[in-house]
Amino acid sequence: MPLDQAHAIRDARLAELHPQLDAALRGRTRLTLEVGCGHGHFLTAYAKSRPEELCMGIDLLEDRLARAGRKSKAAGLSNVLWIHAEASLLLQALPPHVRLGPSIFVLFPDPWPKRRHWKHRVIQPAFLSMLAERAEPGTQLCFRTDYAPYFTEASAVIIGHAAWRVDVADTWPFEEPTVFQSRAESYQSITARRR
Ligand SMILES: C[S@@+](CC[C@H](N)C(=O)[O-])C[C@H]1O[C@@H](n2cnc3c(N)ncnc32)[C@H](O)[C@@H]1O
């Protein structure tokens, strides 16, 4: 796709997201975010256990979000939002008064095993910088994957990023298997705190 066409699509999506987020987040200052929430198993259970937090699950696939919406509605939850958005665009469109915290989850993201596709992996230094810009001090970033090479690479990126501090004594804040977790033979996790 030519660059100007890609930029036009991005700008159009941002123009849709800005008013949607302004309306959804009016009067709210703090948000727990799950990037690539899929069918919403994890975040629905998390939101139920943390009624005092506002939670937002984002994904590229609308059918997965629709399923997530049905799940949280059936659970009677009013503290979880499902937004159809790409992660970087979401962060660009987030109203300036809204901070990310106390948690950010990236669970079983697409592993993109082929080297030429690594640029599509969500954990990248620039993305961690964008998250850090919007996160409160102390916000916990929680990453989990069943693809060992991605875990190795993502851990190096997180540990090497100046805005995030890994504390091996830190614990995973909440357990509920995602769809991909329930299919995985094993997985690895890392957490970090916004400095
Ligand atoms: C492998 S699935 C995992 C879904 C869920 N976290 C789980 O563990 O069951 C990865 C999800 O991330 C979404 N995704 C991939 N890249 C994304 C991005 N840049 N922004 C938002 N969602 C993304 C995909 O559409 C997909 O639903």
110 is catalytic: yes
Supply the pTM of this predicted model: 0.97
Q: In which order are the strands placed within the sheet that holds 99-107?
A: 80-84, 55-59, 30-35, 99-107, 140-145, 188-194, 164-165
Ligand 1, pocket-test mutation among 10, 59, 67, 174, most atoms within 8 A of CB: 59
Residue 76 has what DSSP assignment? T
Give the position, in ligand 1's atom list, of the atom nearest the Cα of 106.
6
Whether 46 and 21 have beta carbons less than 8 Å apart is answered as no
Note the residue count of the chain. Answer: 195
Kindly state if the Cβ of 54 falls inside 6 Å of ligand 1: no
Kindly state if the Cβ of 82 falls inside 6 Å of ligand 1: no
Domains and CATH numbers, the chain: 3-194 (3.40.50.150)
Ligand 1: centre distance to CA 109 (Å): 5
Question: Given pLDDT bands bounded at 50, 70 and 90, which one contains residue 186?
Answer: very high
List pLDDT tens digits, range 117-152: 999 999 999 999 999 999 999 999 999 999 999 999
List pLDDT tens digits, range 60-119: 999 999 999 999 999 999 999 999 999 999 999 999 999 999 999 999 999 999 999 999
Share of the chain above pLDDT 90, in %: 96
Q: Which residue has the tokens 């999506």?
A: 13
Ligand 1: centre distance to CA 104 (Å): 14
Whether 187 and 156 have beta carbons less than 8 Å apart is answered as no
Q: List Cβ neighbours of 145 (8 Å cut-off, separation of 6 or more).
A: 108, 109, 111, 151, 154, 187, 188
